[in-house]
């Protein structure tokens, strides 16, 4: 089994043509959208009239794009950007995604159209790594005193950050990423990680194998990376955590494995998201609504990155900076790691679990309720490393 590590994705930075009016369509749930993408402020920077149209991410569709003819499209992972969205549009020159992942964007198509693309690679690497540590120590608190072997599949921004935290705790790290050279972190085969880890944490993007139907796919596909064959190798006592992309795990094979082994599994992402069945939810040790990266710092970094990239494409100097928006943070990693009780109290991951389970109606969590949990989520803080 192989996969592609998470790295930044940027197509060539074409300058946005000077136009009398700059129109931006933006997902209204992008953090601090009004602070960074303020029409008046951008207008002063560019000397243009700026119109910002804010809509829910799932409502950014081909009809809206064809009607509004935006120059700039700002999205999150719920908006699929490909030919069906942009076929009737000839105005979009820049797409910015305030997310680490890029599987929702057809970058090959954007390149063909000479549309610049930027994503927020690395923006929530500490947020997700801290989520994983909190999940482990909530379920296995004795590992403060009894070091564990942490297996990490995917050593991009998040996986490598998680590894550094684990090393700080005195844990042994088994890392696997076939696209990176061997190193002190990239030190094991896929099978070694699966067979020899106390905990396996997934940090890969979602990719399909290159084919006629997936011309922008990968030689190292990750869809259903973990299926029955892999679960049969995974010891029953191994804790499994997925905060990457839902379809990396074959959902029905996972359910069967949990029934067979009573394995502890933590999912922040789901194969058929945003719908989640009660059948799967009831088998999970911890389940959360795709919020592993939802911290004040992580969200602001994501917005800052695509704001800076847009400013570069507009040939203007950025005028807003996230440090001006951050409230005081007194949560320091050196203190938290010395006092595990404080760390668990700092982020009550089980409250997020309870909130998701409370949304089960008629055997499932609906897409609307899943999205609402994400939209209304009270952003936690990161520990300062």
Burial 56-69 (b: 16+ CB within 10 A, else e): ebbebeeeebeebe
Model confidence band, residue 7 (pLDDT cutoffs 50, 70, 90): very low
Tell me the CATH number of domain 21-123+296-324, given options 3.40.50.720, 3.40.50.300, 1.10.10.10, 3.40.50.2300.
3.40.50.720
Numbered ranges of CATH 3.40.50.720 in the chain: 21-123+296-324, 125-292+344-375
Average pLDDT, the chain: 91
Per-residue model confidence (pLDDT) at position 4: 39
Kindly list the catalytic residues: 245, 273, 290
**Span 175-199, average pLDDT:** 97
98 closest CA partner among 78, 69, 68: 78
pLDDT in tens, 234-251: 999 999 999 999 999 999
Q: Which residues pair with 27 in a beta bridge?
A: 55
Inter-residue contact 116 to 137 (CB < 8 Å): no
Domain 125-292+344-375 falls under CATH 3.40.50.720 = yes
Task: Please name the residue ranges forming H helices in 29-81.
Answer: 33-36, 39-46, 62-68
**Span 35-43, average pLDDT:** 92
pLDDT in tens, 294-322: 999 999 999 999 999 999 999 999 999 99
Is the model's pTM score more than 0.85? Answer: yes
């Amino acid at each position: 089994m192989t996969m592609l590590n998470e790295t930044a994705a940027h197509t060539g930075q074409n300058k946005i043509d000077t136009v009398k009016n700059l129109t931006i369509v933006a997902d209204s749930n992008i953090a601090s959208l009004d602070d960074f993408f303020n029409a008046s402020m951008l207008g002063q920077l560019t000397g243009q009239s700026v119109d910002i149209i804010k809509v829910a991410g799932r409502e950014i569709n081909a009809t809206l794009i064809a009607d509004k003819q935006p120059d700039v499209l700002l999205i999150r992972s719920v908006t699929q950007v490909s030919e069906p969205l942009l076929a009737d549009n000839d105005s979009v020159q820049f797409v910015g995604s305030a997310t680490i992942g890029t599987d929702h964007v057809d970058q090959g198509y954007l390149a063909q159209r000479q549309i610049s693309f930027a994503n927020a690679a690395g923006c929530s690497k500490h947020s997700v790594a801290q989520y994983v540590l909190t999940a482990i120590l909530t379920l296995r608190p004795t590992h403060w005193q009894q070091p564990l072997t942490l297996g990490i599949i995917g050593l991009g921004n998040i996986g490598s950050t998680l590894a550094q935290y684990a090393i700080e705790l005195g844990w042994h790290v088994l890392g696997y990423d076939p696209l990176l050279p061997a190193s002190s972190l990239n030190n094991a085969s896929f099978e070694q990680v699966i067979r020899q880890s106390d905990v396996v944490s997934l940090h890969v993007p979602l990719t399909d194998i290159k084919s006629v139907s997936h011309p922008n796919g990968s030689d190292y596909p990750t869809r259903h990376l973990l299926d029955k064959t892999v679960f049969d190798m995974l010891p029953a006592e191994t804790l499994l955590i997925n905060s990457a992309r839902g379809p990396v795990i074959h959902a029905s094979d996972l359910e069967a494995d949990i029934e067979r082994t009573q394995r502890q599994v933590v999912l922040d992402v789901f194969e058929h998201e945003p719908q989640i069945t009660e059948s799967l939810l009831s088998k999970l040790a911890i389940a959360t609504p795709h919020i592993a990266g939802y911290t004040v710092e992580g969200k602001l970094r994501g917005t800052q990155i695509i704001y800076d990239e847009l400013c570069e494409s507009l040939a203007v100097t950025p005028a807003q900076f996230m440090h001006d928006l951050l409230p005081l943070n007194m949560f320091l990693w050196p203190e938290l790691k010395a006092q595990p009780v404080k760390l668990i109290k700092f982020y009550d991951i089980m409250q997020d679990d309870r909130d998701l389970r409370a949304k089960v109606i008629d055997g499932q969590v609906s897409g609307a309720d899943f999205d609402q949990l994400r939209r209304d989520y009270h952003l936690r803080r990161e520990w300062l490393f």
